[in-house]
Amino acid sequence: MPDPRPSTIESPARTSRDVVGAGGHIAVGDDGELRLEGHSARELADRYGTPLYVTSETQIRENARRLRRAFEDRWERVTVLYATKANYNLAVRQILAQEGLGGDCFGLGELSVSLRAGVEPGKLVMNGSNKQDDELRAAIEAGVTINVDAPGEVDAVVRIAEEVGRTADIFLRVLPFSYADTGQLAPDLADIARDRSHDKWGLDRPTLLELVPRALEAESVRLRGLHLHVSRLGPTPEHFQLAAALIGTCMAELRDRFGWEPEFLDFGGGYAHERDPESGAPAGSHPVATPEEYAEAITAALRATLQRHLLAEPHLLIEPGRRLVSNATVLLGRVGVIKSLPSGSATWVNVDASTSHCLRVPLQGYHYEIVHATRGLDAPVVIANVTGPTCVLDLLGEQRPLPRVEPGDLLAVLDVGGYAEVLSNQFNLVPRPATVLVTPTTCDVIRRRETIEDILATQLLPARLTA
Length of the chain as a residue count? 467
What string of DSSP letters covers 64-93? Answer: HHHHHHHHHTT-SSEEEEEEGGG---HHHH
What CA–CA distance (Å, rounded) separates 138 from 381?
56
The span from the CA of 153 to the CA of 168, in Å, is 12
CB neighbour burial string for 106-127, b if at least 16 within 10 angstroms, e if fewer: bbeebbebbbebebebebbbbb
In order of 48, 212, 418, 429, 450, the CA distances from 453 in angstroms are 19, 51, 27, 10, 8
Strand bridging mode 315-318 / 264-266: parallel
Choose among 435, 430, 457, 438: nearest CA to 446.
Answer: 435
Using CA atoms, how far residue 464 sits from 274, 435, 457, in Å, is 56, 40, 19
Examine the residue annotation and report whether 391 is marked as an active-site residue of this protein.
yes
Which residue is catalytic, options 105, 358, 391, 443?
391
Confirm if 435 and 413 have CB atoms less than 8 A apart: no
DSSP class of residue 376? T
Residues with catalytic annotation? 391
